[in-house]
Amino acid sequence: MFNLLLQFATHINISAEAVAVLSKHPNIIGMKDSSGNIPQLAQFQRVIDPQEFHLMVGTASAWYPALDMGIQGAIMALANCLPAECVAIQKLYEENKKEEAKALHERVFPVNHAVTATYGVAGLKYACDLLGFRGGFVRRPLLDLKDEQKKDIEEILKTANVL
């Protein structure tokens, strides 16, 4: 979680050398990397002992490549609005149905981009509301979506065949 907190809150990225040191600390059992930087994720993998330290991906945009790299866990915003699809991707991949997993990942990828990079928390909450989950309202200083942005999210969900 250390990488996520540093990068999200400060936009400072943690180095592989720091990960190597932190991975040996007795009170740290893992890390979620939300950078989406696959080469960096590979560097992190090289400096940890996967039996002792759990490396997870923190963005669905890097998820399928991370699965191919042997990453076994993820904590992603996408799972809040498309939990069944996220579970399906993981199961398909684990069942060695990689083409099906990849196709589903590619289908929901635009949803992930919308609820993270494009519209953020407000977009995620609205997508959750549309899909039958309780997204609720955004807290200040965040702003609600405008009507045009809501229509964009609805179209993205329809195109992904989830709405």
What are the CA-CA distances from residue 38 to residues 25, 26, 55, 74 (Å)? 24, 26, 13, 14
Phi, psi of 51 (to 5 degrees): -80, -20
Catalytic residue among 24, 32, 102, 146: 32
Judge whether 150 counts as a catalytic residue.
no
Question: For strand 54-57 and strand 30-33, is the pairing parallel, antiparallel, or unpaired?
Answer: parallel
**C-alpha dist (Å) from residue 85 to 3, 19, 31, 124:** 26, 31, 24, 15
Q: In this structure, are residues 120 and 154 in contact, taking their beta carbons and an 8 Å threshold?
A: no
Backbone angles phi, psi at 135, to 5 degrees: -75, -40
Q: Which residues are catalytic?
A: 32
